[in-house]
Structure 1
Amino acid sequence: MNKTLILFAALATALSSCSVSKQARQQENTLSGTWILNNVSYENGEGNFSSVIFNDAKDICFEGSNWFFRNNNNTGRYTIAQSTLCEGGDRYIRWSVVDGSPNQLQLKRIDEKYKDISGGVGYRLNISEMTENAMVLKSNVSVGAERVTIVYEFTKK
């Protein structure tokens, strides 16, 4: 009886640690669909900034990019338009919403066959705002000794 109780308690603990909150599930459902990244800007820093985002492309290349999130298997993609500054095309991702304060969008790059191409490197963006039609994500980065926040503003298509 004692072993059964210990086994049940261990199983309950394991299952609860893998679950996500109701709010995170709701945000995953809201995220599902196609979004446009309208603007990439910077907060908490002085001067002009430019960055390479997700170890992929310059920030300007992401403006106007299309993002698709599929919540039934937590995969998706973002598409960057081809230009003289940007190598266009689809980039595939695996994503999830992580409970926290605030909740975070976690993503990593994969190939079209769902295999990791990032060497295990992933990214977490704070979910600053999320409605059915608009989303603001923020990530903190260091520029020398200064902390700068990259702000990503999306609208749902």
Structure 2
Amino acid sequence: MNEHSHSAHAHRSPHAPHAAGTAPGGATWATAVRATLHCLTGCAVGEILGMVIGTALMWGNAATMVLAIALAFLFGYSLTLVAVVRAGLSLKAAVKVALAADTVSIAVMELVDNGIIALTPGAMEAGLADGLFWSALLGGFVVAFLVTAPVNKWMIGRGKGHAVVHAHH
């Protein structure tokens, strides 16, 4: 079944025929970048929403960051859940796949992104209309992407992380 799942994925993904020439179990940068962009999408939606809500409600830095991180995980997992449920998995099985596929990727992305925001002088105190708020947030996403892509490549090459999702596409 693993061989069938792998060939089905290779057939469906013209951008990565048999992981774009890597040995079985390996991962290409293209695959890692796609997985990281998937993760970044969910994280960015949740993170921005959390930062905007917390800032608009004039919450403290810690409460705003906790909300942003929680929403990043929620939206990150939700993107995977929707995809694997559409592929035919039960909700219970889909939750297991999402947790296995996304937890490390989201955690690394959130650690890096929020670390950059927290360490950027004045970023947490900046208002929504302040360029510093948005540049720290978006700059954090760029750095988080650059740090997370190699992590995802390493995990996918070992059959973990987003590789778990590919067995269900």
TM tier, smaller:
under 0.3
Could you tell me the TM-score, scaled by structure 2's length? 0.23
State the structure with bigger RCO (CA 8 A, min sep 6), 1 or 2. 2
> Which one has a bigger Cα radius of gyration?
1
More helix by share: 2
Could you tell me the TM-score, scaled by structure 1's length? 0.24
